[in-house]
Amino acid sequence: MTPTSEEHPARQRIAVIGAGAIGGVIAARLDAVGHDVTVTARGENLEAIREHGLRIKGGFGAHTAPVTALETLTQAPDAAILAVKATGAVEALEANRDALEGVPLLVVQNGLGGERAAARMLGHERVAGGIALMAANSLEPGIVTVTAAGDTIVGGAEGARFAALLGEALPTSETPSIEGAQWTKLLINMVNAIPAIIGHSVQDVISDRGLRHVLLASMRETASIGLAAGVRFQPLQGLTPLLVRVVAFAPRRIAEQVPLRIRARLGDVPNQGSTQQSIRRGQPTEVDAINGAVVAEAARIGREAPVNAALVELVHEVERSGQFLAPSVVRGLA
């Protein structure tokens, strides 16, 4: 049960850098339990938050958070959360470097090793890694809709601090291996590329037999390459290390039960996936940090990931053209 503001043990000044889908939910929920929250945002999103507050609805309930909204931080908070896309992480850290000096930081990001990169940039080790397992859409400035509630996983340096902080506001747990958890999330995130290419929901993609086979092929590459690299996958959203091996090695008719389980967990509200959301907003996607990360790791260990490489190219084609492609283009990859 989430504590009310009256039950809140200690008010802290929390900065959330990037008030998009995930950052918006985290910021609004931290405000709801009584913290003093500042967010950074840009353009129409910044103006909407300043005028109407940061509004969330859906899986974690409705709340309007009267947060302070800035383009960049003007003073050091007690703790900070970086929730921008992987493509914008370096720019966001540079812009807020002075305010983040020595400040405990949680990097909630898709892809691998974002917390390590942030620690190198900031020159201190007070950096934790985080994984958001909720599904949320931010298609209207200042408003976030949670389409499927889910845990937030934290780990690494300062993991215990952020597990305690976020645990007041959201379902949160600490993992013994943030790297292993990131790889499991990477496997789950394979659901993002195909919806972004064809403009359909994640649920529709998984329901289509041909598209599901391509999705599974990208998941197989991810699982097998991670295992070959010695990764210890951590359990997330019901995806256990055993199921990772099922994805990698079991016959297709058995292995495809894993994406079907993901579809069931997403529920009935259409979920576009974060990559498609970026395309619809005209922003760069994280495909290079998701599918591209599999391709890069495969090359590092002397292997190939042809399905993921093809999906990266198709997402970039959609980014360049602004036009979604026919499902048949993707089905041909299986």
Domains and CATH numbers, the chain: 5-175 (3.40.50.720), 182-331 (1.10.1040.10)
pLDDT band at residue 136 under the 50/70/90 scheme: confident
Burial grade of 101 (CB within 10 A; 0-12, 13-18, 19 or more): exposed
Q: What is the secondary structure of 150-208 as a DSSP string? A: --EEEESTTHHHHHHHHHTTS-EEE-S-HHHHHHHHHHHGGGTHHHHHHT--HHHHHHS
Q: What is the pTM of this model?
A: 0.85
% of the chain exceeding 70 in pLDDT: 97
Single-letter code of the amino acid located at 33: V
Q: What pLDDT, on the 0 to 100 scale, is given for residue 4?
A: 43
Indicate left, alpha or beta for 157 from its phi (over 0: left) and psi (-120 to 50: alpha).
Answer: beta
Q: What pLDDT, on the 0 to 100 scale, is given for residue 2?
A: 42
Q: What pLDDT, on the 0 to 100 scale, is given for residue 272?
A: 84
Q: What pLDDT, on the 0 to 100 scale, is given for residue 148?
A: 81
Single-letter code of the amino acid located at 301: I
**What confidence tens digit (pLDDT) does each residue in 1-43 have?**
344 433 445 899 999 999 999 999 999 999 999 999 999 999 9
